Chains A and B, each alone.
Chain A
């Protein structure tokens, strides 16, 4: 495929610009043909038909906070793994080092990954990967009807 003067990253830029144009063009077309008759009811925030109480921009559980941190750690690890994966069995470097290159690269990366994997194990053991489930509170309800009554009833229905 001949790209003329467009460089490889130019093609990516072309996709970027083309995508933006497509979205903009679509929205423009829709704007031209769609009706616009807003009223207060339409413009309220949807909350299953109720009037919304307060705003959604409030404090909420930062349960995903730990996950975000772990994600960053692993993502950084991946950033280092990508260039490693492209060169570690490189033929030229193998020949230059008499076949030692692959082994050295592998051992180094294994050491690096094990340190990070230990981090994951630590998180696991500490229980940060467990989802905190809210325990139901409130009194246990004791029914005056004994449980055996239910099973008798079910048997009779059969």
Chain B
């Protein structure tokens, strides 16, 4: 069951991602980062988590207690359910519901409701402003995000993420052409990165850029973190949260990073498929994918999927510590005046391109 895979994964990942984030930040800013707890500060996050568990939980007297308590549930669970439709490897998939991807997008946007609950329930001006900004931002960026996802669906003709993964593998019966041009010949048997969606249909490269920008905004990461903006809003909608409730909100944020990165890897970067192609008799793609049903496919599949996702997460962190935060009017301009029209146009172009094959 993927449930037993993803829940521990999120927890372990969050511990290491927070450590990695601090170390990467330190590296970029030419500092050392955490060094005290454990070797090279490796146990720093574990210590932080233990501290958070023991912290007193404060619910302000002026807050709406019901909303304040429900919000972390909504925020965490809506993101966690998003993981249910993700595959892990060729022989290990989550829910095979045929509306999988659509369901994922729909459910993850419930997260907004949790943020609104948290912001309104806290009865704190910072929290309320943070929540309003968050909602406006996430809701707006959902449009370019969904449009860029649609450009992939136009190619794959399926909403089932496992099927989308199989289409990019060497076991696919769908035809793939070199760089998406049918005159250049078929490369379905080559496998490797030649059958990744982003190479099969090169117009998906700008689509991927739009997806990446929108996913940064969706997970409230810098340069789109003006909803939490530590320096102006003290943390945005979770200003009043402390202890384990705060930890849950943080966990959900890191979970969201992981979710959008895995989704990006599945939709654009060949899912659990190896990037190495078959060259003549050197069957690199077959060797590095394992055979379906055996433990080799579990190992290789999860290895490739997670390494692609972690690479994207590394880029997210890199972006965070490199670019300054956007202003709220720039944020809305970028979404409505650039990304949305561009995504609409790219959707049309990819639809025409796919149609030219048949």
> Of B14-22, B90-98, B221-229, B306-314, which binds chain A?
B90-98
- Among B84, B96, B348, max chain A CB count under 10 A is at B84
Interface string of B141-157 (1 = CB under 8 A from A): 01100110010011001
B299 within 8 A of A: no
The complex places the Cα of A71 from the Cα of B84 at a distance, in Å, of: 26
Chain A residues with CB under 8 Å of B147's CB are 78
Given A11-B94, A34-B56, A129-B337, are A74 and B143 also a contact pair (CB < 8 Å)? yes
B-chain residues with CB within 8 Å of residue A60 when the two chains form the complex: 128-129, 132
Contacts of A133 in B (CB 8 A): 329
Interface size on B, residues (CB 8 A): 83
Residues on the A chain within 8 Å of B351, using CB = 85, 88, 106, 109
> Do A131 and B328 touch across chains, with their CB atoms under 8 A apart?
yes
B250 interfacial by beta-carbon distance below 8 Å? no
- The interface residues of chain A lying within 8 Å CB-to-CB of B347 are 81
Determine if A129 and B333 form an interchain contact, defined as CB atoms under 8 angstroms apart. Answer: yes
When C-beta atoms are compared, the residue in chain B nearest to A33 turns out to be B54
The answer to whether A1 touches B92, judged by C-beta atoms less than 8 angstroms apart, is: yes
Supposing A57-B120, A71-B139 touch, asked if A117 and B341 sit within 8 A by C-beta, the answer is yes
The reply to whether B58 and A9 form a contact with Cβ atoms under 8 Å apart is no
Considering only CB atoms, which chain A residue lies closest to B328 in the complex? A131
- Determine if A74 and B157 form an interchain contact, defined as CB atoms under 8 angstroms apart: no
Assuming the contacts A1-B92, A19-B81, A55-B123, asked whether A102 and B358 have C-beta atoms less than 8 A apart, the reply is: yes
Contact of A15 among B62, B81, B337 (CB under 8 A): B81
Contact B244 A113 (CB under 8 A): no
- Does the CB pair B62–A52 fall under 8 Å? yes
Q: Does A82 contact B (CB under 8 A)?
A: yes
Measured between alpha carbons, how far is A56 from B355 in the docked complex, in Å?
A: 54
Question: Chain B interface secondary structure, helix, strand, loop or mixed?
Answer: helix
Q: Which of B81, B126, B142, B146 contacts A46 (CB 8 A)?
A: B126
Do residues A87 and B54 form an inter-chain contact, with CB atoms below 8 A? no
Q: Are A27 and B245 closer than 8 Å at their CB atoms?
A: yes
Using Cβ atoms and an 8 Å threshold, which residues of chain B touch A57? Answer: 120, 123, 128
What 1/0 flags go to A38-49 for Cβ under 8 Å of B? 101011111110
A-B pairs with beta carbons under 8 A, tally: 208
Most buried by B among A9, A37, A56, A68: A56
Let me know if B279 is at the binding interface, CB within 8 A.
no
**CA of A1 to CA of B5 in the docked complex: distance in angstroms?**
13
Known contacts A20-B73, A60-B128, A85-B157: A12-B97 contact under CB 8 Å: yes
Cβ–Cβ contact B81 & A106, under 8 A? no
Provided the pairs A30-B53, A78-B143 are in contact, do residues A113 and B240 lie with their beta carbons within 8 angstroms?
no
Nearest chain-A residue to B84 (Cβ)? A15
Does A29 sit at the interface, judged by CB under 8 A? yes
**Chain A residue total in the interface (Cβ 8 A):** 72
Does B57 lie at the interface of the complex (its beta carbon under 8 Å from any beta carbon of A)?
yes
Asked if B340 is at the interface of the complex by the 8 Å CB criterion, the answer is yes
A129 to B335, CA, bound (A): 10
Q: Which of A23, A42, A99, A131 contacts B58 (CB 8 A)?
A: A42
B:138-178 near A, CB below 8 Å: 139-140, 142-143, 146-147, 150, 153-154, 157-159
A89 touches B157 (CB 8 A): yes
Supposing A43-B61, A47-B125 touch, asked if A30 and B355 sit within 8 A by C-beta, the answer is no
CA distance A94 to B157 in the complex (A): 13
A contact residues vs B (CB 8 Å cutoff) = 1, 3, 8-9, 11-12, 14-16, 18-20, 22-24, 26-27, 29-31, 33-38, 40, 42-48, 52, 55-57, 60, 64, 67-68, 70-71, 74-75, 78, 81-82, 85-91, 94, 99, 102-103, 106, 109-110, 113, 117, 120, 123-124, 129-131, 133
B residues with a Cβ closer than 8 A to A are 1-3, 6-7, 53-63, 72-73, 76-77, 80-81, 83-85, 91-98, 102-103, 120, 122-129, 132, 135-136, 139-140, 142-143, 146-147, 150, 153-154, 157-159, 234, 239-240, 243-245, 247-248, 328-329, 332-333, 336-337, 340-341, 344, 347-348, 351-352, 354-355, 358
Given A26-B244, A74-B143: 8 more A-B contacts, CB < 8 Å = A1-B93, A11-B2, A18-B3, A35-B56, A46-B240, A85-B150, A86-B157, A86-B158
Q: List 5 A-B contacts (CB under 8 A).
A: A14-B3, A38-B56, A45-B124, A57-B123, A78-B143
